[in-house]
Chain A
Amino acid sequence: MNELDLKALGVTGINQRLYKVPKDSNERHWVITNPMGQHAIACGLDGPLQVDIKGHVGFYCGGMNKEAEIIIHGHAGVGVAENMMSGVVWIKGNASESAGATGNGGLLVIDGDASSRCGISMKGIDIVVGGSVGHMSAFMAQRGNLVVCGDAGDALGDSIYEARLYVKGKVAGLGADCIEKEMKSEHLEDLARLLERAKRKDKPSDFRRYGSARKLYNFNVDHADAY
């Protein structure tokens, strides 16, 4: 285990240190201390590292992550794990807006709540939120899974494409072209796997599934009032 003190090294110093770890290195476990809510910590990692961040982080922590497993022992600011490609980003606290935005792959776990626009434009990422998500979550969500163990805010899944949404609690409202869908066995199995990966004890059968009605996929003037 290697320790990096952000107070001493700064964000760029820490990121550069992590970027320079060879892919075949045995020095895979890194601990970042004193993150002080700074932005862009551990963004752009490209290798199988385990990074523990001991405290709160600002915007875009773990952004564009590839392969690394990043654990944030605190809360996260806007755009945590944005455009993640693979790997894991795990937040022990809450996350601000746009968590997992445009993520292409990997797993994002938020033990607490996520704010608005969680999973916006997601493109294949899996997101599991232990608490609730705010309004406009999964807006224009293209692919992947968003699991919400608490409640969802207004306009869930507005203009959604092919992403799958699972919500255990109440949904304040569905966005344009988002509907409740039948929970089939394949979905229950997928959901069970996601919950297990996120170390959740929730039962898949307690969730409801939402997805695209696919009525707005091709522009039709008769649907103009749907927006």
Chain B
Amino acid sequence: MDTNIPRTVPRKSATFDDYTLSEIRRAATTGIYDIRGAGAKRKLPHFDDLLFLGASISRYPLEGYREKCGTDVVLGTRFAKKPIELRIPITIAGMSFGSLSAQAKEALGRGASMAGTSTTTGDGGMTPEERGQSKHLVYQYLPSRYGMNPDDLRKADAIEVVVGQGAKPGGGGMLLGQKISDRVAQMRCLPKGIDQRSACRHPDWTGPDDLEIKIHELREITSWEKPIYVKVGGTRPYYDVALAVKSGADVVVLDGMQGGTAATQEVFIEHVGIPTLACIRPAVKALQDLGMHRKVQLIISGGIRNGADVAKAMALGADAVAIGTAALVALGDNDPHLEEEYRALGTTAGAYDDWHEGRDPAGITTQDPDLAKRLDPVKAGRRLSNYLKVMTLEAQTVARACGKSHLHNLEPEDLCALTVEAAAMAGVPLAGTDWIPGRGGY
């Protein structure tokens, strides 16, 4: 070979990148799709593509360390006799005992209560630890009805009818046998060690007309006291929110595709649903068209990470947000100090998502008693509380800069977008222009 001829450097395909090649090899070897936890990992239009327009001559800012900026929110004001009053608009999303250890559930309750917000049960029912440590506990009412009973329903502070979630709208769930301990099996009325499927459809209602009757039943059983939430995954937010309102929801929870799950197929997580950013404006428009904005509260979730995200979601019209993955990270999930153990599992800190396998070295997404006891619920709860408080302070910082005395006073006019895509999805102008793609005829 003539070594004097210039050669091109090796070039990898953008289409068949290293990850894609590894997935093809994995699939060819195992014959089964990849299952993992967490939400969409691909890059998506997100809150980072929005910026706040701080006050200047045309707007007055509020003094950062002196003037009040309210953060409280009341959820369930439409029909419930006892709405939930929270100090901050950042709630903890539903995550099941089964997918999470009892220690992790307790820590979530402790952290949320310290910060003045709510936490939420998940598939598998309510544990006494969770109820005991949660000042405000939302009880999820799921298709599987695992662990569902009227006593716990009445112990809850609100009820969340789960229709879908952002990571897998249209999909059910699967808790693999290795996480089915005696206690989990007992709560779900199933044998130990078998894969426990969670249905994708409710067993006794289909469609909005039935859902309205189901909500009526739940209200009767709880004497019309508890707020009823309806949670949907982000797909057709305008219609889903409108139908949830029609069905009688007090609160709509809308979860974008960055929202996490305990376990489902990678193809589902990455290819079904729409980004959180794309969900909010259609949802708010549905509420506005029905004259129900601020009367039926809207909780947005899926990829909320910091106070800026909180403020942006609220500026776009949300009443509150919910966090799941970020809360687990605050507890200690994917922490670099466990790097050696993550490597032993074939991954690295920050990328660990095999939550369904139950081998979480942080003791969070596991039912292994030795691993679970690594998590101190008191210390982990404190970390979560700290994190929630920081997010709140950050959101207040931004709101004051925009001249707002309450987070709910933030509005779309406080925002601009960095990309055409984000401008179109959020319905705010591209930075430096007055152009909102899709509006004004072009």
Contacts and interface: CB of A to CB of B under 8 A. Distances in A.
Genuine A/B complex: yes
B213 A60 contact: yes
Contacts of A16: 223
B378 to A, nearest CB: 34
A interface majority secondary structure: loop
B149 A121 contact: no
Band of interface residues on A? 35 or more
B172 to A, nearest CB: 10
B194 A123 contact: no
B210 interface: yes
A1 interface: no
Contacts of B153: 64
Interface in B187-230: 188-191, 193-195, 197, 199, 203-205, 210, 213-214, 216-217, 220-224
A78 B194 contact: no
Interface of A: 11-12, 15-16, 19, 39-40, 43-44, 46, 58-60, 63-64, 66, 78-79, 82-83, 85, 97-98, 101-102, 104, 117, 120-121, 123-124, 139-140, 142-143, 159, 161-162, 217-219, 221
A63 B213 CA distance: 12
B346 interface: no
B31 interface: yes
Contact of A123 (B145, B150, B195, B213): B145
A159 B199 CA distance: 11
Contact of A78 (B32, B177, B204, B220): B204
Contacts of A143: 189-190
Determine which residue in B145, B176, B197 has the highest number of CB atoms from chain A within 10 A of its CB, and name it: B145
A128 to B, nearest CB: 19
Contacts of A85: 149-150
Contact of A79 (B32, B190, B199, B204): B204
| Leading 4 A-B pairs by shortest Cβ distance | A44-B221, A79-B204, A217-B194, A102-B145
A43 B213 CA distance: 12
Contacts of A142: 188-190
Interface in B169-193: 174, 176-177, 188-191, 193
Nearest to A139: B203
A9 B217 CA distance: 17
Contacts of B150: 44, 46, 64, 66, 83, 85
Contacts of B213: 39-40, 58-60, 78
B424 to A, nearest CB: 39
B292 interface: no
B272 interface: no
Contacts of A97: 204
Interface string B135-156: 0000000001100111001000
Contacts of B223: 16, 19
B224 A104 contact: no
Interface string B110-153: 00000000000000000000000000000000001100111001
